Amino acid sequence: MMEPSGQPDAPTQHAPTGNLEAGTRWPASPRGDGLSGVRIRKTSEHAVLLFHGLGGSPAEMLYLRRTLQRKGFHVELPVLPGHCAHYSQLRKLKWQDFASAAQAEFEKVSARYSTVSVSGLCMGAVLALYLGIRNGCRIKSICPISTTLHFDGWGLPWTTCLIPYAVYTPLYFLYNVKESHPYGVKDENIRRWIKSKMCASSKTHYSKIPFRSICEMRQMNHYVRKHLDKITAPICAIHPLDDEVSSLRSLKDIQAGASSRVFESLILEDSYHLATVDREKALVAGTIADFLERIQ
């Protein structure tokens, strides 16, 4: 997702807490334009469908996946269209392509499991909400993380407000937004690791995002905000207080707009946007696992 450029870190009293687990093999998409990813054999009647963020990969969700597996849940972690290939593949896609891919994956999982919950990070969180809008009570629960219903985080440049007008300029087709400091992560060790893996054809995270993709995501955000009232599934929303991409306004919109009878939230105090890999990843994973166990 779009990250700040040249902004200093927010002050913190906490020390870095280590790296991503060594030896991880990142999933790859042979086609680069469809759903292929990490799957495990059936171990439970309750499945959880996880979605990564725009420009990211399933690597962002591996810690959460392992935590849910240990609790006995079946987990599906697909590669979204245009990812784990080359960033230019994203330029060909509209937001409906991501939404259709998410729906197709949900249909496959729901055909094999009695209940399906959905969760995601960044754009993946918006896709989880989209599935809640489209499928109603077929969704057991929704756990959005660092939801980007608004691009209003502290680290975004003032030019972000010009996005609605840029669609009428050559920027829409030609410009790419480069990922930059702090790369969505507060932990300095993990930040360095992510930066080292970023490139145009990364299997972990793209080094740039087509501007058109950000405009398309903004349109999906608008659709989801408009139809939040159609969501009835229980929600556990998690959002960093210092999210540099999207403020707490996104979480508040979910709470105010959804028709869910059960709404729980967790505000993270020591994480940036990529909360599933940052300092509080264990808290994120544990909170979601506990919520899913209680609503079964």
Let me know: does 141 contact 72? Beta carbons within 8 Å: no
> Which two tokens mark 249?
């306004």
Task: Name, in order, each residue with C-beta under 8 angstroms of 162's C-beta and a sequence gap of 6 or more.
Answer: none
> Which two tokens mark 111?
């055909």
CA gap 272, 160 in Å, rounded? 19
* Pick from 234, 249, 248, 209: nearest CA to 288: 234
CA gap 143, 281 in Å, rounded? 14
Its pTM surpasses 0.75: yes
pLDDT the model gives residue 249? 97
Select the more confidently predicted residue: 219 or 159: 219
Q: What is the pLDDT of residues 197-213, one digit of tens each?
A: 989 988 888 999 998 99
* Pick from 105, 115, 92: nearest CA to 213: 92
Bridge-based pairing of strands 46-51 and 208-210 is unpaired
Mean pLDDT within 275-287: 98
CA gap 146, 246 in Å, rounded? 7
pLDDT band (50, 70, 90) for residue 172: confident
Select the more confidently predicted residue: 255 or 177: 255
> Which two tokens mark 292?
């899913």
CA gap 242, 263 in Å, rounded? 21
- What structural domains and CATH numbers belong to the chain? 38-295 (3.40.50.1820)
Cα–chain center distance at 103:
16
Q: Poorest-confidence range of 148-152, 166-170, 242-246? A: 166-170
* Pick from 147, 292, 148: nearest CA to 234: 292
pLDDT band (50, 70, 90) for residue 179: confident
Q: Poorest-confidence range of 23-27, 137-141, 143-147, 160-164? A: 23-27
* Pick from 30, 74, 226, 231: nearest CA to 139: 231
237 forms beta bridges with 265
